[in-house]
Structure 1
């Protein structure tokens, strides 16, 4: 009797395995930094709620300002792997400026803002180049499995990263933990250097308009609804994200170690989400799985403003919120990435992703700034209630779209309603 192979077929392919390994190592460093930089601001630089909002906004402001042009430039330039390597090296160099500044007693919030702004800018270019590289490495009939592997390993780093970050902060000074993230970017660059896939060719002269990706999304009912839904949930969850460390440490009295453990609960949830998404999509359809993830992601966040009483009670509520939300976000991410890989034309891929990222990530600094404003004026708990309710309402954008009827992957050159599985991606004249 034969069982499921221990090593998935895609990971037996050297090019995909190196790509996947680089993504995994880089994601581990990212998870450490997501915890460490806010802790540096709170503990070493004594940031208040408004300043925490500014800090979170600085990291995502480049997505709002640069994504459209970065996607257009990437489609014209064409050498996306080289751009990703350069972005990795640049991010490592920027992060390594923090520890010596802290050691010299010269670290300021202004420098921390500049660091996250620079890392965010380089990440924009890395991210718009990533989807074309993915489809160059993965056959069309393996999109769901490929996305599950990438997001599954990312989920594993969600488990290890926050706990490791909290431990590093307790054992060492917080700024020194950023060295780990810098090293992860160097490892990612090394793995990318060792692959050489056949990337989509550069866009033809005159077809690299920055607004072309946005126009394609506007004409596509699937992409339009998904963008509205995910942008709305991002806006409100980033209100929560801007206040969460401050709320947990100052109002609930969590130590860095306990905070890291709570965030690790979300990571355990993402592991479960990554494990079940393939079977869930096969049972109910990839579109319904997308909608289910969009609802399950924000709904448990209502437990966060409910947290109170003893530290144990508050921790239990936050553990539950983070775990269930982690399941939902992974179902959402895998099903969304699979749909997008199938339906976006190759010659528009970076531009469409850049346009999507400009809105979907661009609302994140707005959410962070809104979080700082609401937290400063209304208080932390009322601000968290408003954000949690707004995030839950994001699913309304998708309910009446074609997405809930999308049982299988759409082909690039067929309308969504036909629900036919794609062959190898081909350029098309009209969006889904």
Structure 2
């Protein structure tokens, strides 16, 4: 809902320009570039569930300020960008912690199933959230609708409190410097050839997708002339591709092999995004839905198998740093893409910017095709320490 409501608020109520939309998009992921690496060291030193709880409650508090400011008439784009950045700081902590927490909950042999279930819940939210968010924005205003996003983070924290599985005790901090431990995570990611290729491909994909996302709301509302409710419907239908991907990721990986799925699925699906810029008002809007839905399908299946691969081959003591390193590289490309999207949108126009983004997205499987994954069907043996 937040991914729909906050950009709608900026594009409609606050009348943001293409460049300002790019800045807002960049702010939402900037923390991955700024604090991603040291976050991995932190997560490897302390228990992970308390980190997730702190992140959830912080995000709820930050997002409560948006409707409050709107109600008293003082909401500005600067506040929205600031909130987006601070929420991204908490998101870095949460994401690195949850990916490192999962193996201790389900065991390494059930990682594929665990990641599939997490991705299924995420994809279901991506189907329902935009539709509800767009509808609420049209009925009660985007600013008031932002309240539901704050409530959702509060609910997430309360649900995490219900986990009763004891978290394994971490090895105590041995005095090793943060820089040294950070380098250890980097060395693992860059030294494992397949993991390095996955990380590079994902970074390029996120960079290209964020260029698209920075202009997506302007494209839907201004180029295609859609009302907030219709925007929510388009994004909900597009999210259905992600839900289908989550529901079929396990079977797809079993059918073609999990390692093979990492490169084959992006190779087949990524070029389909090229139909998005062809969309026009009216019936041809369906091309936008089709392109976004198929991209979401491929991204979801790819996420399930590539995260499972990383968790399977990484020793537990390095999980936080390895996840943080991957997030730093892959999500660190997103604020760069957001800013570039804003610059290109103001320079060559929104639709032309989408052509640049979708053309780049079609080329992102290349690092995977040049990696050892081409000769693998199954994941390598699990490494334990």
| Bin for the TM-score computed over the shorter chain | over 0.9
Match of 2:258?
Answer: 286
Shift of 1:296: 4.3
Structure 2 stretches lacking a partner, 5+ long: none
Match of 1:18?
Answer: none
Shift of 1:198: 2.4
Number of aligned positions between the proteins: 381
1:258-407 aligned at under 5 Å gives the runs 258-308=230-280, 310-313=281-284, 315-407=285-377
Distance between the aligned counterparts of 1:342 and 1:248, measured in 2?
Answer: 40
Structure showing greater relative contact order (alpha-carbon pairs closer than 8 Å, 6 or more residues apart): 2
Residues 60 and 151 in structure 2, CA contact (< 8 A), matched pair in contact too: yes
Q: Does residue 157 of the first structure (1) align with residue 129 of the second (2)?
A: no
Shift of 1:200: 5.3
Shift of 1:397: 0.5
Secondary structure of 1:92 counterpart:
helix
Match of 1:41?
Answer: 10
Match of 2:198?
Answer: 226
Over the residues paired in the alignment, what is the CA RMSD in angstroms?
Answer: 1.4
Please list every run of at least 4 consecutive aligned residues from structure 1 whose deviation after the TM superposition is greater than 4 angstroms.
none
Distance between the aligned counterparts of 1:342 and 1:224, measured in 2?
Answer: 15
Structure 1 stretches lacking a partner, 5+ long: 1-31, 414-425, 428-432
Shift of 1:179: 1.5
Residues 170 and 257 in structure 1, CA contact (< 8 A), matched pair in contact too: yes
Shift of 1:194: 2.1
Q: Does residue 191 of the first structure (1) align with residue 159 of the second (2)?
A: yes
Per-residue CA distance 1:211-269 (angstroms, 9 max, x = gap): 22111111111210000100001111110000011011111111111111111122211
Q: Does residue 249 of the first structure (1) align with residue 221 of the second (2)?
A: yes
Distance between the aligned counterparts of 1:246 and 1:366, measured in 2?
Answer: 19
Secondary structure of 1:125 counterpart:
helix
Which of the residues 100, 119, 123 maps onto 2:87?
119
Shift of 1:206: 3.9
Per-residue CA distance 1:313-337 (angstroms, 9 max, x = gap): 2x11111112211211111111111
Per-residue CA distance 1:295-351 (angstroms, 9 max, x = gap): 34532221111112x4222x1111111221121111111111111110111000010
Shift of 1:134: 0.3
Which of the residues 202, 213, 228 maps onto 2:185?
213
Match of 1:169?
Answer: 137
So what's the TM-score if we normalise by structure 2? 0.96
Residues 270 and 330 in structure 1, CA contact (< 8 A), matched pair in contact too: yes
So what's the TM-score if we normalise by structure 1? 0.86
Distance between the aligned counterparts of 1:167 and 1:341, measured in 2?
Answer: 38
Distance of aligned partners of 1:356 and 1:126 in 2 relative to their CA distance in 1, 3 Å threshold: same
Match of 1:22?
Answer: none
Distance between the aligned counterparts of 1:90 and 1:202, measured in 2?
Answer: 27
Match of 2:19?
Answer: 50
Moved more, 289-298 or 142-151: 289-298
Residues 148 and 277 in structure 1, CA contact (< 8 A), matched pair in contact too: yes
